[in-house]
Chain A
Amino acid sequence: MSLPPPGEAQGAAPHAAPGGRRVGDVVLSVEGVSLAFGGVKALQDVSFDVREHEVRAIIGPNGAGKSSMLNVLNGVYHPQKGKIRLGKKEFTDMDPHEAAALGIARTFQNIALFRGMTALDNIMTGRNLKMRTSFLEQALWFGRARSEELAHRRAVEEVIDFLEIQHIRRTPVGRLPYGLQKRVELGRALAAEPRILLLDEPMAGMNLEEKQDMCRFILDVNDHYGTTIVLIEHDMGVVMDISDRVVVLDYGRKIGDGTPAEIRGNQAVIDAYLGVTH
């Protein structure tokens, strides 16, 4: 597959938002969030915002609180302090299904797919919240249920086409290699037609080619559907190439926030990554 280097795919300057995609207003903001598990302070007074259509990265050393942050964003963890503002709504805590209904979808660090189900069925589960017909109608596959399934199937097929996974449509996910499982998981999140997509280490454990593919898909999703993307990633090359703005966490605190170029020159960030003598 011929692939232009990530970030240059649109022929634009590497870190600028590509031509047709306009970074808009703040859609999601986190204000003074603190989260503790017993005595462990996972997040301490963290604030940042995410703008519409942007690619926002959260980085930090191991145990910095990145996954906790993501879990707060989609309602898995409930912070003890602070607010989350989504569009015009304000929450102190919310449930995952609320978050999903509000247009937040996510993928997981450890793939969380139904291993015995086919890629197609797994992606179909992403449509769950959009199904309106009753259990009985679906069981009988009658009237509305039938046309609804056809519409959902079409949406799923579009995702399959988008992610170029036609060849594994009917393959049980457990039999797929890791990189493809990751792609199916992304597909399931996309099937929910989210406004905001949370990606927890989408490229962990991938080889270079798989990473390049994944980068391309993330940028394509962002460009094609206009989806806002929040991602956690360890690969600095990837982060610097594809994100518009970066938040850096260390020991549960925010130590940096800005464009990739700014972050690269931020002394606190360099210290956190390289270690510093106190």
Chain B
Amino acid sequence: MSENLSGLDTFPKLLMHHARVRPDRPAIREKDLGIWQTWGWHRLADEVRALANGLAARGFKRGDHLAIVGDNRPRVYAAICAAQCLGGIPVPLYQDAIAAEMVFPIQNAEIEHAVAEDQEQVDKLLEILPQCPSLRHVYFDDPRGLRNYTQPQLMSCERLIEVGHDAMRRDAGFLETEIAKGSGADAAAMFFTSGTTGVPKGVVLTHASLIDRARAAAEMESLSESDVVIAYLPPAWIGQNIFSYAQPFVTGYCICCPESAETVMSDMREIGPTYYFAPPRVLEALLTQVSIRMEDASRLKRAMYRYFMGVARRVGGMLLDGKPVGIGGRLLYALGDLLVYGPLRNVLGMSRVRLAYTAGEAIGPDLFKFYRSIGINLKQLYGSTETSVFVCVQPNGQVKSDTVGPAVKGVELKFTPERELLIRSPGLFKEYYKNPQATAEAKDAQGWFHTGDAGYFDPEGHVKIIDRVKDVGSLADGTLFAPKYLENKLKFFPYVKEAVAFGDRRDRVCVFINMDMDAVGNWAEKRNLAYSGYVDLASHAEVYALVRECVEQVNADLAAEAELANSQIHRFLILHKELDPDDEELTRTRKVRRGFIGEKYAELVAALYDGRKSVHVEAQVRYEDGRTGKISADLRIEDARTFAPAGAKKAA
């Protein structure tokens, strides 16, 4: 990034800059009627000008909030910028939210103007009009199905643009003045965080913080105007906003809007993005598709795939990290690249990806290494809405599957004695909207943001996130116990569906395992293991052996980590039933409710710790229709091998 962007402290100023210096470079592409349509920076700026003038003519003022509901569409992004031109604050809302979920943000910010993508979103906004008397103008992009709507609040974006053109003819200089009035300290956008705990909070971010973080990461990864991104995650999510709004505005790269959610795969193949983001579940789904299709492939192709994936596992990651690899390994990898990895990257639409990020949840090491081994530079990052995303990023050549990397330039990190991660960064949010109490709780007087995440620095200074602070405990000897970290490690095995770890204030760690019926059932079928059902299969000695291998593998990994070596799993049992949200054992988002399970199965927990070899259990299960039934079984409890810590500080 050689160009001088100093003085361009807001997004509208950056947009006008790009419209001047690279008017015809692509800014946004959208696939419409099967053909990719390109908007250059100049065209985007024109659209934004017209929309902004139109909004102003309709009464949108400095400091007003503009609700934006829609999928990734050029006009959605143009509307965001149009609001910012006028000193307004765009509030992107999740397009898949139900109508009732939009009530709070609109009431909270007293929103008068909203931009909706299509009939579906318009219907939702109209539905909540009675609860949201402030909402007086709804502009829609796609007129399909809306021809006969007569509500006075409705207006098409086309019409709004005409209104804008009329206004521009009357007062051509108006918008330039408005843009010039903006400063970096102004609020640039408000994102509502999902309200899993209580009401949602509106996170207010300034132009300065978003631009600073977008630029820091762009410089670190040397992003340029030649990069291409596919925008396929909800625009209301801060990450998508950074990748498809803040960063292109800082670097001048192009974003591409897929035709529909179902066409993302094929659109990616056509566009060939160079910069890509995917949460672990998307990467997992892609790999599953690949695996399924490989199973249907011819025998020769299967053999090739197996062989070369073996090669890739050995040397692929090392090559990507620039580590020394013998000439034989290099040659084999080159051949594999020609025959397997190249075509595979092509199928995934990742042929041109030179930088890919994953974040949001823990990613399984095998999954992570798969993508790296076939030559895709997948890295982890750490951040949140409150921090404008970029807090930690793994630098090239220092990528590890179990850390999120060191702090990005400009970020200060420290851990409290309770191991909570604190962040001070230019990217921090300004406040929670109309919620000074929550703001004060999250951001202390010295400007440190309390993340609620627990972790520590590894020997190379990378941050390792292990759990939420409130879940972290300690073993009887005072060493760290992070149940979710252990559970995640177990869940990375396909045979383990859920795990529940116990150990807080106890002398050692024991776990409940919930086997994955599909995976274990499949495994059992392949080896002609007869079983009558879940309970029967779960109690098979061979299944226990299978799970024990998984547990011991985890123990071996843990032994290598000084902080967690004492958390090795000593005993385990396989539960007789699947943990189920209907039985309140899991939350609706499928997180284990450790405390509840510990009480409900207190007898089993006691048995894990008193050395019994088996325990009798009777449990009530609730069926989908609300009836209840009983399951009784004798559960076996087995010991797992533990390993001496690698650092050999002290024996467990």
Contacts and interface: CB of A to CB of B under 8 A. Distances in A.
Are A and B genuine complex partners?
A: yes
Interface of A: 1-2, 4, 9-11, 18-20, 153-154, 157-158, 160-162, 164, 166-167, 169-170, 220, 223-224
A265 B344 CA distance: 63
Interface in B205-254: none
Contacts of A220: 144-145
Contact of B33 (A4, A161, A223): A161
Given A157-B33, A161-B33, A170-B266, A11 B120 contact: no
23 contacts: A2-B123, A2-B124, A10-B148, A11-B148, A11-B149, A19-B150, A20-B147, A20-B148, A157-B34, A161-B32, A161-B33, A166-B31, A166-B34, A166-B260, A167-B259, A167-B260, A167-B262, A167-B266, A170-B266, A220-B144, A223-B147, A224-B144, A224-B145
A224 B35 CA distance: 23
A1 B98 CA distance: 10
Interface size class of B (residues with CB under 8 A): 20 to 34
B262 to A, nearest CB: 3
A120 B120 CA distance: 26
A212 B33 CA distance: 25
A161 B32 CA distance: 8
Interface in B1-53: 31-35
Interface string B133-165: 000000000001101111000000000000000
A164 B31 CA distance: 13
Given A4-B123, A154-B33, 19 more contacts: A2-B98, A11-B148, A18-B148, A19-B148, A19-B150, A20-B147, A20-B148, A157-B35, A158-B33, A160-B34, A166-B31, A166-B260, A167-B259, A167-B262, A167-B263, A169-B34, A220-B145, A223-B145, A224-B144
A10 B146 CA distance: 8
A164 B33 CA distance: 11
Nearest to B31: A166
5 tightest A-B CB contacts, nearest first = A167-B262, A157-B33, A19-B148, A166-B259, A157-B34
Interface string B260-272: 1011001000000
B292 to A, nearest CB: 14
Output the residue of B35, B120, B148, B150 with the most chain A CB within 10 A.
B148
B73 to A, nearest CB: 14
Contacts of A167: 259-260, 262-263, 266
Contacts of B260: 164, 166-167
B116 to A, nearest CB: 12
B138 to A, nearest CB: 15
B269 to A, nearest CB: 11
A160 B260 CA distance: 12
B80 to A, nearest CB: 23
Contact of B120 (A2, A158, A160, A223): A2
Contacts of A164: 260
A1 B145 CA distance: 14
A167 B34 CA distance: 10
Contacts of B147: 20, 223-224
B148 A1 contact: no
By secondary structure, the B interface counts as loop
A14 to B, nearest CB: 15
Contacts of B31: 166
Contacts, number: 48
Output the residue of A20, A162, A167 with the most chain B CB within 10 A.
A167
Output the residue of B34, B120, B124, B266 with the most chain A CB within 10 A.
B34
A170 B269 CA distance: 13
Nearest to A166: B259
A20 B31 CA distance: 30
Nearest to A168: B262
Output the residue of B33, B150, B260, B266 with the most chain A CB within 10 A.
B33
A130 B572 CA distance: 71
A157 B120 CA distance: 21
Interface string B563-578: 0000000000000000
B117 to A, nearest CB: 12
Contacts of A19: 148, 150
A164 B119 CA distance: 14
A275 B150 CA distance: 46
A166 B149 contact: no
Nearest to B265: A167
A33 B149 CA distance: 41
Contacts of B266: 167, 170
Contacts of A166: 31, 34, 259-260, 262-263
Interface string B263-305: 1001000000000000000000000000000000000000000
Contacts of A2: 98, 120, 123-124
Contacts of A161: 32-33
A187 to B, nearest CB: 13
A163 to B, nearest CB: 12
Contacts of B145: 9, 220, 223-224
A66 to B, nearest CB: 30
A220 B120 CA distance: 14
A83 B232 CA distance: 56
Contacts of B262: 166-167
Contacts of B123: 2, 4
B141 to A, nearest CB: 14
A19 B148 CA distance: 6
Nearest to A120: B34
A51 B48 CA distance: 46
Output the residue of A11, A160, A166, A224 with the most chain B CB within 10 A.
A166
Nearest to A9: B145
Contacts of B150: 19
Interface in B76-107: 98
Contacts of A160: 33-34
Contacts of B33: 154, 157-158, 160-161
A19 B145 CA distance: 12
Contacts of A158: 33
A9 to B, nearest CB: 8
Contacts of A223: 145, 147-148
Interface string B156-188: 000000000000000000000000000000000
Contacts of A169: 34
Nearest to B147: A20
A242 to B, nearest CB: 15
Contacts of B144: 162, 220, 224
A198 B31 CA distance: 32
B263 A1 contact: no
Contacts of B124: 2
Nearest to A169: B34
A164 B259 CA distance: 10
Contacts of A170: 266
Nearest to B99: A2
B243 to A, nearest CB: 23
A158 B34 CA distance: 9
Nearest to A10: B148
Contacts of A154: 33
A2 B260 CA distance: 16
Nearest to B259: A166
Interface in B302-328: none
Contacts of A153: 34
A9 B98 CA distance: 18
B97 to A, nearest CB: 11
Interface in B341-365: none
A216 B31 CA distance: 24
A9 B266 CA distance: 32
Contacts of A4: 123
A2 B98 CA distance: 9
Nearest to A170: B266
A140 B120 CA distance: 45
A193 B348 CA distance: 37
B63 to A, nearest CB: 32
A36 B266 CA distance: 52
A170 B145 CA distance: 26
